[in-house]
Each structure stands twice: as structure tokens, then as C-alpha cells.
Amino acid sequence: MALKTVRDVDVQGKRVLVRVDFNVPLKNGKVMDDWRLRATVPTIRYLTERGVQVILISHLGRPKGKRDEKHSLRPVAQRLSELLGQPVAFAEDCVGEVAERAVAALQPGEVLLLENLRFHEGEEADDEAFAQQLAKLADVLVNDAFGAAHRAHASVHAIAKFLPPVAGLLMEREVTHLGRLLQHPEKPFVAALGGAKVSDKIGVLRNLLDKVDALLIGGAMAFTFLKAQGYETGKSLVEADRLDLAKVLLNEAKGKGVELVLPVDVVVADCDADDAATQVVPSDAVPKDKAGYDIGPETARLFAARIKPAKTVFWNGPMGRFERAPFKAGTKAIAEALAECQGTTVIGGGETAASAFEFGVADKLTHVSTGGGAALEFLEGQELPGIAVLI
């Protein structure tokens, strides 16, 4: 997939509107995780080094089209300033007179962050009038917000009618690495999928079955597959309305010659508390009064044995409730196996990315996607609105 990028246009000395994904967690007015900010720094520096007046736009949280100070991007401007090593100006609005005055005051090489796009209903409504107000602020539009590319919102979609966009360096990297998984994955190709629900991963499961050599299923979603095989799953999360689908997917994998690997043991407990008493049981014999919250040690070894020698690995979804101390081991084992793999290793965003950083392996992987939902929809083969306008 060939994207027109920021390298393909003359930006020297111009005003450039950059759609970024600064939807980051805040606590007490501080950015708690600055990974998405750091991921956009190369694009911002590319522009400032060319004397560009950089105007950054982003959403944060779900303020429902109204101003809500707890969703203000002001703390983000402060943290970004520290990362860039230069001041980042902040405007109290993203359109109208306030935004226009802030843009007019910018000098070449300076950076401005505008207030939360979602303080206006027009953003999520993909409203053309709102998009036009954004477009009038700049000469060039750069979309570097892969994490928002699956949303048909004004700043990623409607705006393309008024200011044709090009991809930023992060967007280019995302599409390149994820695209290779679909088009030219080096074999053997192993995918490890976790998370809570089969329903969240149906599209990815189906699309990857035509491309992978092995599919490793962990997380709570594994219990739907185990139940479909007639196993006792106790109080584990099972999607009863997806049992027939699980059977179909198991048969499809068999028919395509794909090794679909399910847990052989699981960690069970009465609850998912930090002080829960746990035990490891075979995956076909979960006690009726307990639920499974992680893959067991033998399953972790089984999965790692397929991941480490692979030439290509994609991982999305934790192997258990890794936020809780008793249920971290499975996800940690998969993260460490990917770090040891000498092939191409790509992981989806969201919780999977968070676990890679928590376990200290993110810098050992080929690519950590900044988009959770966007990465999944991309790998389902769907057309993403924010990418379609870049082609």
C-alpha cells in the first residue's frame, strides 16, 4: 500500500496541521503514559527542522461534544514540550478566533497544540463545516494519527475534502509493518491472540487463517473455544452465543492446515483480586466453582516454543488478567518469547502494547502499534477511513 507522505510535499516554511493521536491517560493533571507522544516526535522534528509552523490537533477521551476540563490537552502540551526540548504553545480551542490568533502568532520552527477536537460535536459527526474550520488554519495537512484512522471523524476524513492529507512518519511506519503481515509475511508466521472475547477478534481470526502457520489462542477468549470442544470451563468467561462460531473456526483452521493451539493448562481462582489464591489445572478440568484468569506455565512454554523460532509473529491481546499480580505470568512469558524471537515481531496497541512496556520488551520488538482498534481493523482487511484518503 503506497501512501503519499510528508516527504513527498514541500513543507518548507509553511503552516502544517498535524493530526496526532494524543489520547493518553491523565492523572492529577499529568500524563501517565507518554508513549504515543514519543511516537510522533520524529514527524514533529522533521517539520520543525524545515522551518514549519507546526499545529497539532488531537482528541482526548470522550467529552461528548462539550468542553470538559478533565479532558483538556493542556497537560499534554507540557509533557510534549519536555520531550521535544522546546516550548509547545497551547490554544484553548481548536477552531475559531482563539485558534486562529494562536496560529497567527506562530514563528517558523515553533509548535502549537490546539485544544481537544472532541469538545466540538462536529468532530465525531464527521461534519464538513467543522472540518473546513480546521483546514483554514494551515497550508498542508499531515495525518500521523494511526490510532484514529479507523474513525470517520472530521479531522481524519471530512477534512480531506478541503486540505488533501499526506501521511506522517508514524502513519507510514504503521501501514508498512502491519501491511507486511498481510502481504509478504516471512514463514513460518505465528499469530498469538488473547483478550476477553472471540467476538472482538472474529475478523482478524478469519483473515489471518489464510496467512498464518500457527494460531495461538489465549486470554479469556480461549474458554469459548475450550467449551466448544466440550470441556468443563467452570465460571470462566464464555460467550455462549459464539460456541458454534468457535467450532467453525476450529474446523476452518484444520481444513487450511493451520495449527490452532489452545491452552493445555490454566491458572484458576475464586476471583481476579490481587490477593487471589490460585492453582494451575488442566484446561479440560476447570473446577466448577472457579474461573480461569491466565494461561498456565505449560501453555506458556508451548506458545513460546512456537514463537521463538518463527520468522514473523503478530501478537494482540493479553493472555490473562495481567493487571492483577497473580495473573501476569502468561502475558509476561509471551512478551519475553517475542523479545527472544529473531524474526519480525509486531504487536497491536492497547493492553498488548502496555504489557510490552511493563515487561520491558518493547524496544526489542520490530514494531509496537499505537493503534489497538485501528490495528485490528487493518488486519481484518477493512478499509480505514483515515488511510483511504491518503492513498
**Residue 333 confidence (pLDDT) above 70:** yes
Distance CA 350, CA 140 (A): 30
Dihedral (C-alpha) 276, 372, 123, 84: value to the nearest 10 degrees? Answer: 100
Considering only residues 376 and 37, tell me which one the structure prediction assigns the higher pLDDT.
37
CA of 60: how far to CAs of 26, 107, 117, 137, 360, in Å?
10, 26, 8, 20, 26
pLDDT at 372: 84
Tens digit of each residue's pLDDT (9 = 90 or more) over 86-114: 999 999 999 999 999 999 999 999 999 99
Considering only residues 122 and 199, tell me which one the structure prediction assigns the higher pLDDT.
122
Tens digit of each residue's pLDDT (9 = 90 or more) over 297-308: 999 999 999 999
The helix (run of H) or strand (run of E) holding residue 54 is strand 53-57
pLDDT tier for residue 163 given thresholds of 50, 70 and 90: very high
Contacts with 12 (C-beta within 8 Å, 6 or more apart), sequence order: 50, 51, 52
Tens digit of each residue's pLDDT (9 = 90 or more) over 17-70: 999 999 999 999 999 999 999 999 999 999 999 999 999 999 999 999 999 999
The helix (run of H) or strand (run of E) holding residue 171 is helix 169-183
pLDDT at 134: 98
pLDDT at 142: 98
Distance CA 214, CA 335 (A): 17
Give the catalytic positions in this structure. Answer: 36, 197, 350, 373
**Residue 371 confidence (pLDDT) above 80:** yes
Listing from the earlier edge strand, what are the strands of the sheet with 189-193? Answer: 259-261, 214-217, 189-193, 312-316, 344-347, 367-368
pLDDT tier for residue 143 given thresholds of 50, 70 and 90: very high
pLDDT at 123: 97
Tens digit of each residue's pLDDT (9 = 90 or more) over 111-139: 999 999 999 999 999 999 999 999 999 99
Asked if 377 and 353 touch (Cβ cutoff 8 Å), the reply is: no
Asked if 330 and 218 touch (Cβ cutoff 8 Å), the reply is: yes
Q: Radius of gyration of the chain from Cα atoms?
A: 22
Q: How many residues does the chain have?
A: 391
Residue type, 321: R
**Residue 199 confidence (pLDDT) above 90:** no
What would the DSSP string read from start to end of 108-139? TT-EEEE--GGGSHHHHTT-HHHHHHHHTT-S
Distance CA 209, CA 205 (A): 6
pLDDT tier for residue 81 given thresholds of 50, 70 and 90: very high
For 231-276, list the strands marked E by DSSP: 259-261, 265-269
pLDDT at 202: 86
**Residue 311 confidence (pLDDT) above 80:** yes
pLDDT at 121: 97
Distance CA 348, CA 374 (A): 9
Least confident window among 48-52, 181-185, 260-264: 181-185
Contacts with 184 (C-beta within 8 Å, 6 or more apart), sequence order: none
Asked if 21 and 151 touch (Cβ cutoff 8 Å), the reply is: no
Contacts with 28 (C-beta within 8 Å, 6 or more apart), sequence order: none
**Residue 233 confidence (pLDDT) above 90:** yes
pLDDT at 1: 65
Whole-number percent of the chain with pLDDT over 70? 100
**Residue 174 confidence (pLDDT) above 90:** yes
pLDDT at 197: 84
**Residue 286 confidence (pLDDT) above 90:** yes
Angle between helices 74-84 and 35-48 (to 10 degrees): 60
